[in-house]
Structure 1
Amino acid sequence: MTTNILKIEGLKVAYGGIQAVKGVDLEVNKGELITLIGANGAGKTTILKAITGTLPDCRVEGHIEYAGQPIKGLHSFELVRKKLAMVPEGRGVFTRMSIRENLLMGAFTRDDQAAIDADIEKWFGVFPRLKERSAQMAGTLSGGEQQMLAMARALMSHPELLLLDEPSMGLSPIMVEKIFEVIRTVSAQGITVLLVEQNAKLALQAANRAYVMESGLVTMQGDAQQMLNDPKVKEAYLGES
């Protein structure tokens, strides 16, 4: 029997007169890797920001439940304490802090210093480039290195649910491959992942289930592998006919 870790019902988000999300239902079960795909402006990032309470002034309606509790209205730092972390689009690293300091910020809810140090070494093992540059200011890193750092920083909080917003955006093909390798590794470790991603093919290959969004609505949902072979998905999102 699966257990919901995230449940969204009737989510609507409006910026002034613009309805960005028009009534979305979405469920993520513990241990799943779920992807949310769709064109630019479909409302994918808005959903992640609604979950984390990081939207600008707007009207949010509907129900958002995490680990069986409503979380609408909670601050993002409160969600981190509840083991929900997000890697935002654009990475959002602390540019004037070193790589090591960024990782320590990811562990701000923890006080187990020996385990924190061990986790830093663990992620340095996954991302050797970060170890080589551990004292370097994060703002001087390449886009790919910043993405590595943003992911490692989020994982330092030991999340039970990890939200990833466009992790491959603007990265070289070899770096995209590395990021998706880490996403699969994180999922295999039992961390639940909700992935928003424009590279639909890689996202569907990695995911268990998928939701397709168009113009603020979920238009398809189901098994990710089956969607890879769906003619409509192939034509619209995979560049295949």
Structure 2
Amino acid sequence: MTTPILQVRGLSVAYGGIQAVKGIDLEVREGELVTLIGANGAGKTTTLKAITGTLPQCRIAGHVDYAGAPIHGLSSFALVKRGLAMVPEGRGVFARMTIRENLLMGAYSRNDKAGIEADIDKWFGIFPRLRERANQLAGTMSGGEQQMLAMARALMSHPKLLLLDEPSMGLSPLMVERIFEVVREVSAQGVTILLVEQNARMALQAAHRGYVMDSGAISMSGEASAMLDDPRVRQAYLGEEA
């Protein structure tokens, strides 16, 4: 875990007179699972969208390097081809396509048909509910099942870095547990992950390192296990007394 695959330096995002992200620095090293936690509205999703160039009209300043090269101005398609994939908040599955068709869309930048079929089988093994419903329209599935599909679809592109935006949002406690099991499993397979999450406890329990974002700024960072024991984190984000 020595080589930074993602380096963010002095990243700022402004909408008119509103400064949503205020000159933040963060990095993710190869093989790491890094989490960015914070309250709703702290600027976490804006940060991910600034990294991937998917924000609406706004002013962005600072530097974002991926795999040793700047990526500002690159299209989402180009980023996927370079191995950077994102699972957006709200999942964004293709509702009128089947589960299998969604997975094939995740592999649109590939042309190795045998490898694509092998990967579909692989992710069906990790997400057995998807295998059971392979020909079901994605829009008819539960929120948790759609989250599994969105993750599997992104993984079909063979990402070197996977960005996950609030994967537990709106899910039942049992489904949240299952989603985090899968996040750990994907990380264990060597996929580098940057996880944005409001469920601070689950995120820090899964991660190697963490950053805390507060009002558009990074207020704390460190080893995830140490942050779990930090009184400031416990009081502000884990609902415990200092």
Give TM-score scaled by structure 2 length. 0.98
Counterpart of 1:123, as a letter, is W
Opposite residue 220 of structure 2, the aligned amino acid is M
1:1-241 equivalent positions in 2, closer than 5 A: 2-241=2-241
In structure 2, distance between residues paired with 1:162 and 1:148: 14
Quick one: distance in 2 between partners of 1:206 and 1:137? 31
**SS state of the match for residue 212, structure 2?**
strand
Deviation at 1:58, TM superposition (A): 0.4
SS in 1 for 2:64: strand
1-structure distance, mates of 2:240, 2:34? 22
Q: State how far apart, in whole Å, the 1-side matches of 2:62 and 2:116 are.
A: 37
What is the identity, as a one-letter code, of the residue corresponding to 1:19? Q
Superposed displacement of residue 132, structure 1: 1.1
Structure 1 ranges of 4+ moved more than 4 A: none
Partner SS for 1:104 = helix
CA RMSD of aligned residues (A): 0.7
Q: CA–CA distance in 2 between the matches of 1:127 and 1:182?
A: 8
Amino acid in structure 1 at the alignment position of 2:122: K
Q: Deviations over 1:27-71 (max 9, x none)?
A: 110000000000011100001000111001100000000000100
Matched residue SS, 1:78: helix
CA shift at 1:174, angstroms?
1.1
Aligned length: 241
Q: What CA distance in whole angstroms lies between the structure 2 residues aligned with 1:126 and 1:100? A: 14
> Residues 152-208 of structure 1, C-alpha deviation per residue, up to 9 Å, x if partnerless?
000000000000000000011111111101100111111100000010000000000
| Residue identity matched to 2:119 | D
Letter aligned with residue 233 of structure 2 = V
Secondary structure of 1:182's counterpart equals helix
**Counterpart amino acid of 1:78?**
A
Cα distance between partner residues in 2 of 1:78 and 1:88: 17
**1:201-229 deviations in whole A, cap 9, x for unaligned?**
00000000000000000000001000000
Unaligned runs of 5+ in 1: none
Whole-Å separation in 2 of the counterparts to 1:14 and 1:222: 27
